[in-house]
């Protein structure tokens, strides 16, 4: 009986417990890489472990866990082909309503966590002339109402990614950004639960201002879960961004992301405002 050779290159995927992260880890493992799949709980790791896919405990807000993983990768000796900064959360509510602690939590995971991972892995990536893949979002190019914190974190990630790409190009490390639109993932469902909780905590004045909007956004999120791209399809694009010989600087996932990122580049702000408002208007509760 023949056995497959041991993979000679490593790829790190953060936020790999479920959704796009888990699907991306599986896709990269199937392409012959040894994937280090960052999970927060051992039970999550047991659920995804397979040939070439090795779960590692990694909370991107815990600097000591990131440092331990970087040391483990250095000790392994195999080149680090890429890191896929995928970990993320979505906390949606109007700017007035969202508590500042939730703003900080959003940025700690979606932005500062990625920067910490990238800084820690750069010595290995510089040695291997590897790649950084940042998982942004349609929300990193276009901010819908109630997406202030989420889009803020993704806009920041896009800006840093552009700077990083230009800094590292002379040293052989490439940077690619992936901008998914509606994808059927657990994160969307968890975001909807959080939105409902925050909506229930609004003051009567806030309810009058934003109640209909929150209802519409929740209905839109449910549509994402029903009609969005499957996570396995998103994973193929992310895997390509991580492994292509000459990667694009940006990839979109889904027709909505391709269309709306183009709108964001071309349409005047007020026109884009009207486009987004018209998409939400049918989802508002009907007046009695």
Residues with active-site annotation: 150
Task: Give the DSSP per-residue string, the chain.
Answer: ---PPPP--EEEESS-SSHHHHHHHHHHHHTT-EEEEEESSHHHHHHH-BTTEEEEE--TT-HHHHHHHHHHHHHH-S-EEEEEE---------TTTS-HHHHHHHHIIIIIHHHHHHHHHHHHHHHHT-EEEEE--GGGT---TT-HHHHHHHHHHHHHHHHHHHHHGGGT-EEEEEEE-SEE-HHHHHHHHHHHHHHHT--HHHHHHHHHHHHHHHHHHHHHHHHSEEHHHHHHHHHHHHH-SS--SEEEESHHHHHHHHHHHHS-HHHHHHHHHHHHGGGSPPP-
Pairwise CA distance, residues 177 & 113, whole Å: 16
> Taking a C-beta distance cutoff of 8 angstroms, is the pair 60, 121 a contact?
no
What is the widest separation between alpha-carbon atoms in the chain?
71
For 221-243, b where at least 16 C-beta lie within 10 A, e where not — what string? beebeeebbebebbbebbbbbbb
Angle in degrees, CA 238, 260, 283, rounded to 5: 110
């Amino acid at each position: 009986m023949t056995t497959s050779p041991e993979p000679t290159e490593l790829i790190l995927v953060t936020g790999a417990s479920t959704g796009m992260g888990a699907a991306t880890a599986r896709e990269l493992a199937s392409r012959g890489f040894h994937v280090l799949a960052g999970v927060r709980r051992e039970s999550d790791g047991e659920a995804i472990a397979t040939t070439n896919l090795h779960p590692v405990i990694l909370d991107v807000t815990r600097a000591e866990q990131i440092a331990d993983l970087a040391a483990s990768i250095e000790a392994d000796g195999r080149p680090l082909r890429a890191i896929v900064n995928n970990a993320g959360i979505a906390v949606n509510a109007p700017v007035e309503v969202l508590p500042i602690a939730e703003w900080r939590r959003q940025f700690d995971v979606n932005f500062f966590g990625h920067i910490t991972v990238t800084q820690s892995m750069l010595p290995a990536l510089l040695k291997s002339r590897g790649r950084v893949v940042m998982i942004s979002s349609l929300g990193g190019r276009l901010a819908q109402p109630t997406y202030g914190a989420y889009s803020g974190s993704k806009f920041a990630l896009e800006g840093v990614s552009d700077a990083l790409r230009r800094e590292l190009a002379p040293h052989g490390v490439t940077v690619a950004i992936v901008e998914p639109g509606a994808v059927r993932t657990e994160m969307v469902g968890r975001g909807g639960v959080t939105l409902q909780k925050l909506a229930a905590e609004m003051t009567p004045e806030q309810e009058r201002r934003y109640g209909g909007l929150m209802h519409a956004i929740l209905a839109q999120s449910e549509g994402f879960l029903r009609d969005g791209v499957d996570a396995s399809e998103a994973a193929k694009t992310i895997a390509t961004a991580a492994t292509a010989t000459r990667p694009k600087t940006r990839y979109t996932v889904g027709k909505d992301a391709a269309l709306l990122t183009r709108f964001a580049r071309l349409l005047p702000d007020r026109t884009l405002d009207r486009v987004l408002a018209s998409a939400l208007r049918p989802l508002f509760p009907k007046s009695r």
